[in-house]
Chain A
Amino acid sequence: MEILGIPIQALAGQLLLGIVNGSFYAMLSLGLAIIFGLLHIANFVHGAQYMVGAFVTWMLLQYLGISYWWALLLAPAVMFCLGVAIEYVFLRRIYELDHFYGLLMTFGLLLMIESIFRYYFGSTGLPYENPLPGGINVGFMFLPYYRAWVVGVSLVVCFGTWFMIERTKLGSYLRASTENPEMVLAFGINVPLLLTLTYGFGVALAGFAGAMAAPITNVSPTMGTHLIIIIFAVVVIGGLGSIMGSIVTGFALGILEGLTKFFFAPASTTLVFVVMVLILFIRPAGLFGKERP
């Protein structure tokens, strides 16, 4: 089957791959955006937290025989605790300082965590068995079940998070604290606790994405390294701190990247950054960002 001389199966294949990548971009940039919005920390260790999430999933199966499905709950829970600990021990000491220190500290954490995992597990990567093997022929392409599952779950998680932040009482505390934490504190809300929990939640999201990624990519200490740069670009394009911006941009860039791979593969790795530069020219605050007066 062809359209305009293009084999539709190949195109659909790249498109699917793009949407799957976009699912990960969206889940990861979402956590990054929430953390940046409330804590003003550019969480450079996010990619490493995604990697640790994948490793926790792998270890649960390897050492404890816990299946993927339980790991999908347990890995984010473990990462939530890890996030809470990192916020409590490290990050809360630097809120009063320039943002640059947050970047330095999380970058340092990234190097440490990655080195530790490289020391113990090497950098070749460990396989993780696909929990949903097989697929279905949908006419114009073959759709592997696991990839469909990734896209579906990612959409649910992203919009669930959006709903929680934009439409619930807890979300109104988060939005208000993002805008004016002092005033929220003066209403009797424990803002420092809110910051801790928010960081934990962002890290749990990264861990969840890591668990989702384990069966697709090799579980390796460097799996988050190249991703984090793209994720930062997604957050910048979407508008720093914008929830919807991160979700939409994550998926859109994944798809765009997939299409580029099909039409002109060499450009696919730089495309994200070209888009970022263009967007910054046209809308410095990002697609969904608010221009500061």
Chain B
Amino acid sequence: MSEICLSVKGLNAFYGESQALHGIDFDIRRGEVVTLLGRNGAGKSTTLMSIMGLLKNRTGSILFEGEETVSKPANLIARAGIGFCPEHRAIFSSLSVEENLLLPPIVRKGGMSVDEIYALFPNLAERRSSRGTSLSGGEQQMLAIARILRSGSSLLLLDEPTEGLAPIIVKVIGEVIKTIKARGYSILLVEQNYRFAAKLADRHNIVLDGKVVDRFDAVSDAASLDHIKSYLSV
């Protein structure tokens, strides 16, 4: 078994008085794509926000490359080597495409170079001096992924990268994730689109009411797929 990249144990998180996560447990090995699947409001995005330190009110244990990060502020967690691609992409409208791309500081060696990134996303190269938010939804999603590839982060948190995108773009995003996985990045993927996730991930975690209620290895058999589907359908 390869080395553990991220290990989350008994993670609780709170919005004010109300508890959103009730003891989330899962881990990611180096180079794996692992998903958190679940319905709206199950706690998937909250888990990412908690790992990233953007939700400060959290307890439990989050070991990243063996180091406890549960009480660290977000900027130090990012510096440790976790890249965050949030839901709704958070592209900056007052920055050009290139400025958006270059915004995250290099936290470690081993990130992709700007040329490599532009080779992977030719659309972004063409529009590098356009305003960030003048891009299409798909291009903005690519930019949101692209900008965390440069920083040298080894673990990428992707929050619903296919949300609201046309099927053809979803396919492209899928190819991108395969490419960056092949480059050795570890990826935690939050999705509602499990068909998309099933093709990419090594393992799946089903999140329900702030807990991981079930786990599957890379699924191919119809029974498991149906089982996952039953968790996700309303």
Contact = CB atoms under 8 A, between A and B. Distances in A.
A189 interface: yes
Given A175-B94, A176-B92, A188 B107 contact: yes
A130 interface: no
Give the residue among A176, A187, A189, A191 with the most B Cβ atoms within 10 A.
Answer: A187
A187 B104 contact: yes
Contacts of B95: 172, 175-176
A186 interface: yes
Contacts of B165: none
B103 A184 contact: yes
Contact of A176 (B73, B75, B79, B94): B94
A178 B92 CA distance: 10
Contact of B79 (A173, A179, A184, A188): A188
A175 B78 contact: no
A185 B94 contact: no
A186 B74 contact: yes
A188 B94 contact: no
Contacts of B84: 183, 186-187
Interface in A147-186: 169, 172-173, 175-176, 178-180, 182-186
A190 interface: yes
B94 A189 contact: no
A97 B73 CA distance: 20
Interface string B45-66: 0000000111000000000000
B90 interface: yes
A185 B79 CA distance: 10
B52 A186 contact: yes
Interface string B77-110: 0110000101000101111000100111101000
B102 A185 contact: no
B205 interface: no
B151 interface: yes
B54 A176 contact: no
A179 B93 contact: yes
A187 B151 contact: yes
Give the residue among A173, A183, A184, A188 with the most B Cβ atoms within 10 A.
Answer: A188
Contact of A173 (B52, B53, B76, B103): B103
A82 to B, nearest CB: 26
Contact of B104 (A182, A188, A190): A188
A185 B90 contact: no
Contacts of B54: 182, 185-186
Given A185-B75, A186-B74, A169 B90 contact: no
Nearest to A165: B94
Contact of B102 (A169, A178, A190, A191): A169
A185 B77 CA distance: 10
Contacts of A188: 75-76, 78-79, 104-105, 107, 151
B106 to A, nearest CB: 9
Contacts of B76: 188
B92 A189 contact: no
Contact of B90 (A173, A175, A183, A190): A183
A159 to B, nearest CB: 18
A186 B79 CA distance: 9
A189 B147 CA distance: 14
Contacts of B74: 182, 185-186
Interface in A222-241: none
A239 B63 CA distance: 46
Nearest to A177: B92
A172 B102 contact: yes
18 contacts: A169-B102, A172-B99, A172-B102, A172-B103, A173-B103, A176-B92, A179-B93, A182-B74, A186-B52, A186-B84, A186-B86, A187-B104, A188-B79, A188-B104, A188-B105, A188-B151, A189-B105, A190-B75
| 6 tightest A-B CB contacts, nearest first | A188-B78, A187-B104, A175-B94, A188-B79, A183-B90, A185-B74
Interface of A: 169, 172-173, 175-176, 178-180, 182-191
Given A179-B92, A187-B103, A187-B104, 20 more contacts: A169-B102, A172-B99, A175-B94, A176-B94, A180-B90, A183-B84, A183-B86, A184-B103, A185-B73, A185-B74, A186-B54, A186-B74, A186-B78, A186-B86, A187-B78, A187-B105, A188-B78, A188-B104, A188-B107, A190-B75
Interface of B: 52-54, 73-76, 78-79, 84, 86, 90, 92-95, 99, 102-105, 107, 151
